[in-house]
Amino acid sequence: FHPAARGGFILNSFAYDAIQSMHRGQSNQSHDIVPNTLPKISDPHRRSPETQPTRPPSGSVPHGSRSFFDNDEDDSWKVCGVCNDKATGYHFNALTCEGCKGFFRRSVKNSKTFTCTYNNQCSITKSNRRQCQACRLRKCIQIGMKRECIMSPDEIQMKKTLVLSNRIKRATMQWVPMELTNDQKILLDTICSAFIQSNNLPEKGVIRGGEEVRQDADKGSPCSSPSSSSNNSNFLELIKRIANDIAARTPSNMTNPAHVVHFTDIMEFSIKEIIKFCKKIPTFMDLDLKDQIALLKSGCTEILFIKANYTYDLEKKALTLGPDILYTRDSFLQGGMSVEYTDNYLKFHEDLSALQLDDVEMSSLSAIALFSADRADLVDQQRVENQQEALALCLQAYSESSWKIRNRFAIIMSFLPRLRTLNSLCTTAFSQVKKQFGEEIR
């Protein structure tokens, strides 16, 4: 921050050095700028030299005080040239308040003629400006207010029409979406193909505890409606009472070891598939091996969250693994996950599913989440950042050219900070699970 830029004044180095030399030469004489050295101002609506604010030399402002020049919002110098009220700006070629602006406009438009009973020598102030309209109008003209600056009704209407036309033009200005280049298409095709290949379901026996999760999910799911022959209010009331009684005696956050093993097996299998996906990203393999490891350590979990969205059922508000297993909120709680993590996780999937991303957008979002330059232990952060920016531009071009929706790309990118939050909550939850079920999860 260059000291010459204080108070909103930007000086080049030559001018700043010259000013400093001037202050050093005057330091033995005085620390203040002599007011009477300023040029005299004859305009009656301008302040006298004695009241003009002066900038003190460097170092003369006490600690904690603020100079006039250091306050860009200070408008104490804006005084109406007619009545000395606070001015709101230049009106009809002169600095005036709103009251004098309106008075001058009305007087000119109505062609009014005023007479002063005191030989046109009245002193106009804020408190008495209504008493002598003749002297007030004379003062308006004296400070430079011009009759020709007042627009006629036709001119006012033309200006309003022009302003409205420009406003509509800006609002309806055609938005031109980005277009994919050939290189971007090739990169996105490669990433998408690798992403789809990594979405394989595990073979039978790889994931343990599936039967227990399926049975518990069935217990928590709504009962099927009985046949019409037994569909009576007494029977439904009995079923509802029994279900409520079971729910009251069975805490929903009770951790089930079988669920814990099941979820950890799914995590292990999915992470292996994600590593295969990352290795097929051309730009990822160009990175240093240490950086590849650093990105995988933190990025795998976030990509796992994205991939899991394929299994989310928006109507049931649950995740599924095949036709038999339904992962409800209670399933996650019984799997050792915290309430905060579970609620954030399911809300993330609900919002992402509502956006209806296609495979290219899902794979691109996963790759962008992987290339995060603020990961720990990175060697070449700039290179990672450049790769992420290139991927983001690919996604933006694809999203805009495919969907023709202006803010779709921004909405997709807004899920990145939510992935970070989920990653942090997941790490905390799994550390608690590991303490409690270390042997079961190997």
pLDDT at 180: 94
Q: How high is the pLDDT of residue 338?
A: 85
Residue from 302, 284, 333 nearest 424 by CA: 302
State both tokens at 331.
Answer: 């399933």
Q: Following CA atoms 317, 321, 324, 329 in sequence, which dihedral angle do they give, to the nearest 10 degrees?
A: -40
Per-domain residue ranges of the chain? 3-70, 89-169, 192-436
Residue 263's pLDDT is 60
CA–CA gap between residue 268 and residue 256 (Å, rounded)? 19
Contacts 24+ apart (CB under 8 A), 347-353: 348/305, 348/415, 348/418, 348/419, 348/422, 349/308, 349/309, 349/312, 349/319, 350/312, 350/314, 350/317, 351/415, 352/306, 352/309, 352/312, 352/415, 353/309, 353/312, 353/314
- pLDDT score recorded for residue 257: 53
Per-residue pLDDT of the chain (442 residues; tens, 9 = 90+): 333 433 333 344 444 444 454 444 444 444 443 334 333 334 444 444 333 333 334 333 333 333 333 444 556 678 999 999 999 999 999 999 999 999 999 999 898 899 999 999 999 999 999 999 999 999 999 999 999 999 888 888 888 888 888 887 777 677 789 999 999 999 999 999 999 988 765 554 444 444 444 444 444 443 333 333 333 343 334 333 333 333 333 334 444 555 556 566 667 778 888 999 999 998 899 999 999 999 999 899 899 899 989 889 998 888 886 566 688 898 888 877 889 999 999 999 999 999 999 999 999 999 999 999 999 999 999 999 999 999 999 999 999 999 999 899 999 999 999 999 999 988 887 777 666 655 554 5
CATH 3.40.140.10 at 89-169, yes or no: no
- pLDDT at residue 80, rounded to an integer: 96
CATH superfamily of 192-436: Retinoid X Receptor (1.10.565.10)
Helix (H, G, I), strand (E, B) or coil at 128: coil
Do the strands 325-327 and 318-321 form a parallel or antiparallel pair, or are they unpaired?
A: antiparallel
> pTM to 2 decimals?
0.53
Contact by Cβ (8 Å): 85, 68: no
Give kind and range of the element (H or E) at residue 320: strand 318-321
Task: Give me the phi and psi of 95, to 5 degrees please.
Answer: -85, 110
Cα dihedral 373/358/309/204 (nearest 10): -110
Helices 381-403 + 359-370 axis angle, to 10: 160
Strand order in the sheet with 312-313: 312-313, 318-321, 325-327
Contact 400, 408 (CB under 8 A): yes
DSSP element (H, E) containing 12: none
As a whole number of Å, the end-to-end CA separation of the chain is 56
Q: How many CB atoms neighbour CB 239 within 10 A?
A: 12
Q: What is the pLDDT of residue 386?
A: 95
For the chain, what is the radius of gyration of the CA atoms? 37
Q: Which helix (H) or strand (E) holds 262?
A: helix 257-279
Handedness of CA 67, 72, 76, 80 (dihedral sign): positive
Nearest to 100 by CA among 119, 79, 73: 79
Q: Do domains 89-169 and 192-436 have the same CATH topology?
A: no
Q: Residue 23: its pLDDT value, please?
A: 47
Where residue 177 falls (left for φ over 0; alpha for ψ -120 to 50; beta otherwise) is: beta
* Overall residue count recorded for the chain in this entry: 442
The C-alpha atoms of residue 426 and residue 308 are separated, in whole angstroms, by 14
CA 221 – CA 418 distance, rounded (Å): 29
- Rounded Cα–Cα distance for residues 43 and 81 (Å): 9
